[in-house]
Amino acid sequence: MIPYWEEELETLPRKKLEDLQADRLRNTIARAMQSEHYRKLYESKGISPDSIKSIEDIQKLPFTTKQDLRDNFPYGLLATPKKDCVRLHSSSGTTGTPTVIFHNQHDLDSWANLVARSLYSTGIRDTDVFQNMSGYGLFTGGLGFQYGIERLGALSIPAAAGNSIRQIKLMRDYGTTAAHAIPSYLGYLFEVFESEGLDPKKDTQLKHMIIGAEPHTDDTRKRIEELFGVKAFNSFGLSEMNGPGVAFECEHQTGLHVWEDAFVAEIVNPQTLEPVPDGEIGELVMTTLDRQSMPVIRYRTRDLTRFIPVKCPCGRTHRMIDRITGRSDDMFIIKGCNVFPMQIEGVLMKIPEVGNDYRITLETINKNDIISVEVEMKKGTFKGDLEELNKLARRITHDIRDEILVKPEVKLVENNSLPKSAGKAVRVFDNRIKS
């Protein structure tokens, strides 16, 4: 079986890949300068396509931030006439006002191809039945995967998000073999399977699960693989870089290959904005290389990751990034300690009695900042055995304290009792009194 969607591009020797990037970056700058924002910015700094001799010269260019996109809302970064655009998408607005991205037909074709290439790299083929359990509409996970899977040629089921009973029925009626969903939803979906008296391992034909759009730990992935009897592949993307199809795990699950013919990925220290040494964690900065309507150059994603400095056995030459540990703005500070929600998820998902959902609340009690963690239990865990439950709560408290250096209040709650959000999971509720 041919392992690549586009062998020549996916295995291009590094030097050639970097030359291609430099070429495409020059084109991208020329195009971007058709937009009001980049024209003014680059002219004021004397930047032109000729400023790029090799791909390292990208470091001479200023960054683009979410604020720049907001300040130029809606059309200030448009580099082609509006009449040439055929679709817009906007971010889900997890962290404030949404930002909008415009696409012409070329952009949509190029995006669909990247998603097809990504799915193919996980082993999905045109013989698969692919169910997309992602919100359709402005959110890119719906149409992004839809056009990609059609390009690949598998049979697609545009199931959209929610309505779990119907998701299960679709899977069983049509023999779904591959599916895409956000990881926090899959924990819940499994519980619906259980309450219907079904076991996805026996009662479906699922083999491939594509999970992404929100941070999750490797243990969460392993749980999904065990619960559903699948291999689960991490998919990373963001609206500003189209959406899905930016970086994807291949069959080897070694890391997420960034499609470097279509994007430049850099990792910088978020304070100094200088590149970090290979292998160190920093903020991911991304540039589009094949988008015409709205090129975005050196976009500060606020996502934290690192380059994985090894070669993947698959033979692809495109570098890999590690799973995203979180957004720089997910971090909260409690009693002077910096904490990422994924540190807590990391502890919880290692404990077999713990279910698939949790919630972190920060509050001020008697002028004291408190962190409490509500943790769902697996179905039927220690039914009524208070002593065992207390023991477990103490163990979780201890493990979290070891990880974040602050002692949390741990509350064990019934399976499937925490409120579920319609889209990406909201993990932290900060109700502290700000002094």
Q: Which residues bind ligand ADP (CB under 6 A)?
A: 91-95, 212-215, 234-239, 301, 303, 324, 327
Query: 234 is in the binding site of which of ligand ADP, Zn ion, none (Cβ under 5 to 8 A by kind)?
Result: ligand ADP
**C-beta separation of 134 from 145 below 8 A:** yes
CB of 25 to ligand ADP, least distance (A): 22
As measured in angstroms, the least distance from the Cβ of 214 to ligand ADP is 5
| 250 near Zn ion, judged by CB under 5 A | yes
Which span sits near Zn ion by CB under 5 A: 42-50, 132-140, 245-253, 409-417? 245-253
Task: For residues 366 and 210, give the distance between their C-alpha atoms in angstroms, rounded to a whole number.
Answer: 45
Closest C-alpha among 279, 297, 277 to residue 288:
297
Give the residue among 15, 270, 207, 233 at the shortest CA–CA distance from 115.
233
Q: What is the 3-state secondary structure (H, E, C) of 63-123?
A: CECHHHHHHCCCCCCCCCCHHHEEEEEECCCCCCCCCEEEEEHHHHHHHHHHHHHHHHHCC
Q: How far is the CB of 249 from Zn ion (least distance, A)?
A: 8
Q: Are strands 332-334 and 337-339 parallel, antiparallel or unpaired?
A: antiparallel
- Of 96 and 277, nearer to ligand ADP (C-beta) is 96
**Min. distance of Cβ 430 from ligand ADP in angstroms?**
18
**Nearer to Zn ion (CB atom), residue 22 or residue 250:** 250
Residue whose CB is less far from Zn ion, 47 or 256: 256
Q: Residue 314, interface with Zn ion (CB under 5 A)?
A: yes
Q: What angle do CA 283, 103, 212 make, to 5 degrees?
A: 45
Q: Which is nearer to ligand ADP, 241 or 347 (CB)?
A: 241
Q: Closest separation between CB of residue 20 and Zn ion, Å?
A: 19
Binds 93: which of Zn ion, ligand ADP, none (CB < 5-8 Å by kind): ligand ADP
Cβ contacts of 115 within 8 Å, gap of 6 or more = 144, 145, 147, 148, 149, 151, 244, 245
Q: How far is the CB of 363 from Zn ion (least distance, A)?
A: 44
Q: Which is nearer to ligand ADP, 29 or 260 (CB)?
A: 260
For the record, the structure tokens of 19 come out as: 């030359």
Q: Which does 238 bind (CB under 5 to 8 A by kind): ligand ADP, Zn ion, none?
A: ligand ADP
Q: How far is the CB of 248 from ligand ADP (least distance, A)?
A: 9
H/E run at residue 209:
strand 208-212
- Comparing CB distances to ligand ADP, the nearer of 137 and 313 is 137
Rule CB under 5 A: say whether 258 interacts with Zn ion. no
- Per partner kind, with CB cut-offs from 5 to 8 A, the member of Zn ion, ligand ADP, none near residue 314 is Zn ion
In the DSSP assignment, the letter for residue 420 is: P
Q: Indicate which of Zn ion, ligand ADP, none lies near residue 91 (CB less than 5 to 8 Å, by partner kind).
A: ligand ADP
Is residue 312 within the footprint of Zn ion (CB under 5 A)? Answer: yes
Q: Are 321 and 284 in contact (CB under 8 A)?
A: yes
CA distances from 112 to 108, 142, 183, 257, 338 (A): 6, 12, 22, 17, 39
> With respect to ligand ADP, which residue has the nearer C-beta, 42 or 236?
236
Q: Nearest CA to 182 among 357, 41, 366?
A: 357
Cβ 423 to ligand ADP shortest distance, Å: 8
Footprint of Zn ion on residues 10-39 (CB under 5 A)? Answer: none
Rounded to whole angstroms, the Cα distance separating 97 from 95 reads 7
Task: Single out the residue of 305, 299, 371 nearest to residue 333, CA to CA.
Answer: 371
Return the amino acid letter for 144. G
Give the binding site for Zn ion (CB under 5 A).
Answer: 250, 252, 312, 314, 316
